[in-house]
Amino acid sequence: MDENEQITSMDRRVAEVAGRLVELQQEQVRDYRSLARLRVEHLSTGALVDSIDQIERQVLALLQARESATGSLEQEIAGTDERRRALEDARATQVDVLDKAAEAVDAAEAATQASLDANPDYRAQRERATDAERIAMHAEDKAGRSEQEREEKGRSYREDPLFIYLWRRQYGTPGYRAGGLTRWLDGKVAGLIRFADARANYSRLQEIPVRLREHAGKARQQADTEFESLHDMDRRAREADGIPPLEAELTAAQDKLGAIDADIAGLEQTYENLLQRKQAFASGEDENYQQAVGYLASEFQREDLRELRQEALATPLPDDDVIIGRLQERQSEREETESIVQDLKESMQQHRQRLH
């Protein structure tokens, strides 16, 4: 038996036990009525019987309304469960459709790839694309290492204040501009630090990574071009073999399955909410049941009922003793039944947690 069946079975059991609680209280009301009629010498007996009759009519009306609401709820639960099962059947069918669509795409893809592998033009283009990619990766790696070397080896030049001063003034190049005294002093500094050789070395550190990066960019562009040509051949072959329509069918099947799953999730939530309402009815937590129990409980608190019971205990009449005995037995059964209801609620909650 699965969790749903366990919960349904326990719902019925809780409903039966909770219903028995109300029956016990109604029987208790009837016992008090019988007891009151026996105690005719009690001045308020007539009014007491009328009061008991009135409260029992109110309780019966509430229980009838509760029974009607329970029937409607059961119909709603059955309808929701039926729709849920129908969606699950539809989902199983749609999974088969999706599997077949995926198999069709896979088979077509495999056939197309086999055809392309047998095509010498395609093999040649794939080789050109692979070679171009290898060259591009090598050029990018070389450019990266050159840029790293520029950063590491150029640090000593950049941290030399005399060198960087002459470098920024473009000393030794056509762009250098300075007056006579400044030019003479700069020349002295340049000679002191051997600026000409340092400038040539630093220039190479700056220029080589730029050239290598330009070469890597061209190599990458060439590789992209070769792969684009390869992809065009793939695309034309796939279109010729009718793969795009098959992929469209696969996407449509996936979308439909997703929609069914969303509907199932919505119905599962609705079903869970309905089961919670059913549990409230089964365990006597609904409004009609609570009102009925409240009416009966308040009636049992009446002072004249307590007096009636005390007088019955004090009289030697056997009929009184029989009724008092029944009241005591029902009180014991009520306590035992309430304990059973509590145990069933806890057990049902555990099943609901596992089902969730």
pLDDT in tens, 266-293: 998 898 888 888 777 766 677 777 776 6
By C-alpha distance, which of 18, 8, 24, 64 is closest to 281? Answer: 18
Most confident of 47-51, 68-72, 145-149: 145-149
Q: pLDDT at residue 296 above 60?
A: no
pLDDT digits (tens, 9 = 90+) for 187-205: 878 888 888 888 888 888 8
Which pLDDT score, from 0 to 100, does residue 31 have?
66
Is 148 strand, coil or helix?
helix
Q: Which residue has the higher pLDDT, 238 or 70?
A: 238
> CA–CA distance from 36 to each of 48, 59, 77, 102 (Å)?
7, 20, 45, 81
Tokens found for residue 203: 């220039």
Which pLDDT score, from 0 to 100, does residue 58 have?
74
Burial class (CB in 10 A: 0-12, 13-18, 19+), 50: exposed
| Alpha-carbon span 74 to 212, nearest angstrom | 79
Distance of CA 109 to the CA centre of its chain: 34
- The overall average pLDDT reported for the chain is 79
Is 178 strand, coil or helix?
coil
Backbone phi and psi for residue 241, each to the nearest 5 degrees, phi listed first: -90, 5
Q: pLDDT at residue 303 above 50?
A: no
Which pLDDT score, from 0 to 100, does residue 43 have?
35
| Neighbour tally for 29: CB within 10 Å | 20
| Alpha-carbon span 117 to 109, nearest angstrom | 12
Q: pLDDT at residue 297 above 90?
A: no
pLDDT over 90 percentage in the chain: 33
By C-alpha distance, which of 83, 99, 102, 104 is closest to 260? Answer: 83
Q: Which residue has the higher pLDDT, 313 or 335?
A: 335
Buried (b) or exposed (e) across 211-240, using 16+ Cβ within 10 A? ebbebbeebbebbeebbeebeebbeebbee
Which pLDDT score, from 0 to 100, does residue 45 have?
47
DSSP state, residue 159: T
| Alpha-carbon span 293 to 283, nearest angstrom | 13
Q: Kindly report which listed range (121-135, 200-214, 229-243) carries the lowest average pLDDT score.
A: 200-214
pLDDT digits (tens, 9 = 90+) for 75-96: 988 898 899 899 999 999 999 9
- At 262, the pLDDT band (50, 70, 90 cuts) reads very high
Which pLDDT score, from 0 to 100, does residue 233 have?
93
Contact (Cβ atoms closer than 8 angstroms) between residue 143 and residue 213:
yes
